[in-house]
Structure 1
């Protein structure tokens, strides 16, 4: 099992919609899930630096570190994808983007090869699709409120997922 540390970003537009990317497992046809922007922390960077690098790589948006909120969620998860097992620690931060920034994003990167979508909290609450982390619809409104950023991060728990590579 490969250990992995990730920095994830809740990219939210002016309409309070969250950008999620779609993932698939090539070894499990039909396995599909939605996940936030972000990814692995490189040895020479900290979590916020990894977050802005991942945003730039996945959306071509250059976001300064100062635009990231403090950590709002943490999560530990184990999963496998394409035959590789992962034991992954995740930190989540909020970053709001303007309408111009959202329109200017190029989300045609490798990470979004299976699609992307801007999700409202209603969309998240009513979807039958797999979204990671689980219970995103219940968790997100608190983060979107000012109060959600003025308290300690919420640890979402330790999970074993069937598929959840990001």
Structure 2
């Protein structure tokens, strides 16, 4: 069965955290769409500077969680800060949890999940600087390379990408997790 995955990102995403999972998923034969706030392209952030542009496949207005098997949220500092202020993006995120579909977030990506109100009681990890924010939102934060909690995959930083990608692909192949919840 064909799998279609959404990567939700906007300008200022950490380049490796979008590029590496996207390539890993495409290597598995999954169709991957970059979903963003506006059509055109979005600009990556790498090594403290603006980097390459990536084409947007769909805008948030054109999609719903029904169209996808899983959701990936790359980090970066600017990217999640912008997305967490977009109510349509938050609804899109919440709908994956409601449908028990796999969701993966890395580095600062979980900031979007805080604003979507889906981390309470969930075991996860992130970039260390947002640990307090996640704990204050009710998450069970741990310092591990990759954490899987019923179809919910998180990692800390780009160094964790190999483990993150492996678990992400494993969870997508498993499909819906009835205990995946907000």
- Whether TM-score is above 0.5 comes out as no
- Relative contact order higher in (CA < 8 Å, ≥ 6 apart): 1
Higher helix share: 2
Q: Taking structure 2 as the reference length, what is the TM-score of the superposition?
A: 0.32
Higher strand share: 1
Q: Taking structure 1 as the reference length, what is the TM-score of the superposition?
A: 0.34
